[in-house]
Amino acid sequence: MTAAAFPNTRPRRLRTAEFIRAMVRETRLAPAQLIQPLFVAEEAQKGAIPSMPGQSRLDLDELARECVELRRLGIAAVALFPVIPSERKNELGSEALNPEGLIPRAIKAVKSACPELGVVVDIALDPYTSHGHDGVLDAAGYVDNDITVEMLRKQALVLARAGADVLAPSDMMDGRIGSIRSVLERDGQKNMVILSYAAKYASAFYGPFRDAVGTKVALKGDKRTYQMDPANADEALREVELDLNEGADIVMVKPGMPYLDVIHRVKERFGVPVAAYQVSGEYAMLRAAIANGWLDERKVIMESLLCLRRAGADMILTYFAKQAASWLAEETT
């Protein structure tokens, strides 16, 4: 075929050199867009997490040191998750309301060590309940929505008063955002940010997280009566709209990569700040493939994060945050 037979437009011209690829690049990733989830524990509960290689349960001193390093790398915030001993768990999850509990003390430890680092805290009962569910069970074993919301209101107030910057209700109870917002307003916490797990799916990708916080063995049944059906996308838009109307500032889609379409639709429809959670199962499967030499570590991690940004996520909760931030720092030096 002669040259004349080709069209004048050749998209490959803009891919010939790195400088031109950089100039026309549509999506960028920065450390400030990353949130590092951290597991907080004490005494016997601390240590490495076998199903999440490279991740550990940290005591308060280790947590403080890690947060200083994360902030040095430019990471904007951490999300704290507690590991509660079984003897402090009960049917109601009452330990979640303890103002001297693990997470209130962890918030204070982080803020003392690194005041400028944002602290995101989970609002849910599953780390604290003896049955592993996100709420209070009725006699039939069904999570009672309204009783649970009352517990969540109290938990939110405890953590707001402890100094958290962002409250992140992850329970998927109906009406919990409005209820939490109203109690915060009455308490004078008018500027408290709510990051709602608005579209949280009943996913098979949460297993390693449940190992990490110690809820996998305790969990009775599953969470399909309150977390979303993986088959549904339109429903996610309805959930997001409800949470925004009730006072959420940021909405989250969880998990991340299996739900890129949902992230995109939420961002396109509402134009609000959207978070994505690259969950423990996503982390574990990439780690396993990397360990076996099947995938290039740096390339696949950075691509996985970039695709979440491209889909519409403004911020990403990811266990790769520290590693990715260190690589991004190398690129700018």
Which residues are designated catalytic? Answer: 200, 254
Please enumerate in sequence order all residues whose Cβ is within 8 A of that of 121, keeping only pairs 6 or more positions apart, or say none. 79, 80, 103, 107, 159, 164, 166, 167, 168
Are the CB atoms for 310 and 268 separated by under 8 Å?
no
Tokens 């069904």 belong to residue:
142
Q: What is the Cα–Cα distance from 43 to 55, expressed in whole angstroms?
A: 17
Beta strand 315-318 pairing with 274-278: parallel
Crossing angle for the helix pair 102-113 and 145-161, to the nearest 10 degrees: 30
Sequence letter at residue 128: Y
Q: 154 burial class (0-12, 13-18, 19+ CB within 10 angstroms)?
A: middle
Q: What is the Cα–Cα distance from 303 to 309, expressed in whole angstroms?
A: 10
Q: Which two tokens stand for residue 209?
A: 């997280």
Are the CB atoms for 198 and 263 separated by under 8 Å?
no
Closest CA to 124 of 182, 84, 165: 84
Please enumerate in sequence order all residues whose Cβ is within 8 A of that of 284, keeping only pairs 6 or more positions apart, or say none. 51, 52, 53, 207, 208
Sequence letter at residue 217: V
**Using the 8-state DSSP alphabet, how is residue 203 labeled?**
-
Crossing angle for the helix pair 321-332 and 60-72, to the nearest 10 degrees: 30
Element (H, E) at 275: strand 274-278
